[in-house]
A and B are shown apart, each in its own frame.
Chain A
């Protein structure tokens, strides 16, 4: 191993700090999450829009039945986080491309970030605090597995 010693009178330059290349990780995220989303979204569309009676079959009891199964809880959580961050990052790219006014650009980026955080928190809370047999339900709107009042 050889060590090079700089000439004594060369001026000192502080070592360059290696910054995290966020743009690179964002680029990679779009591709990796996209791969997962192809499976997650087509599965979601097939089960909710095509299989059975399609969108006509969807109501409170349908959602309660799905979320009684941890498989769909995990599926929908992944869908929420991967899709919303994928979409928000895409909107960020488009904003950076077209919003030339710096103030407007900052405002749009802030709005995208704020709506993403709010919807991620809201969606996650909805999935994990969901009550399939709420007390305020009208008769007949609950799934079969709820105790009869």
Chain B
């Protein structure tokens, strides 16, 4: 709608009142895909962070003695940890793919315009990644349930 057409010429204060408040919905991080991608990014980020803290500590045991390290790593070779690893990879997969989407939104000149399409692509690639990792990990978990330490 033309705002400065000759017919609507009015004194300045009155004209100012007619200006619509800024449109809040439809900005990138408000509602819909933009917001949910951000929520998931935070949740996966926090989960990965706490795993990282534990992972640096468990790896540090390698400096105490081989037996101590092998003992801790053996506790990772349990079915429940195999399931945990699966969700860790799922979380990292989303955080990585959506992180690349954020980089494209911020640095690619038309990134923000295509953010919704890029979110769909992120989800599709995420599913492909999970589908690629799941069979091998399920095999590992099954072997652990059967009590094998090496296949």
Contacts and interface: CB of A to CB of B under 8 A. Distances in A.
B135 to A, nearest CB: 11
Interface string A40-61: 0110010001100111111111
Interface string A51-76: 00111111111010000000000000
Interface string A78-99: 0010011001101100100000
9 closest Cβ contacts across the A-B interface?
A: A60-B66, A141-B66, A87-B49, A34-B99, A126-B63, A137-B66, A126-B60, A38-B96, A60-B69
A60 B68 CA distance: 9
B140 interface: yes
Contacts of B77: 55-56
A121 to B, nearest CB: 11
Interface of B: 42, 45-46, 48-49, 52-53, 56-57, 59-60, 62-63, 65-67, 69-70, 73, 76-77, 81-82, 85, 89, 92, 96, 99-100, 102-103, 106-107, 133, 136-137, 140, 143-144, 148-151
Contacts of B143: 56
Given A42-B96, A94-B46, A59 B65 contact: no
A59 B69 contact: yes
Contact of B56 (A37, A58, A119): A119
Contact of A34 (B56, B76, B81, B103): B103
B70 A129 contact: no
Looking at chain A, what size class is its interface with the partner chain?
35 or more
A35 interface: yes
A60 B73 CA distance: 9
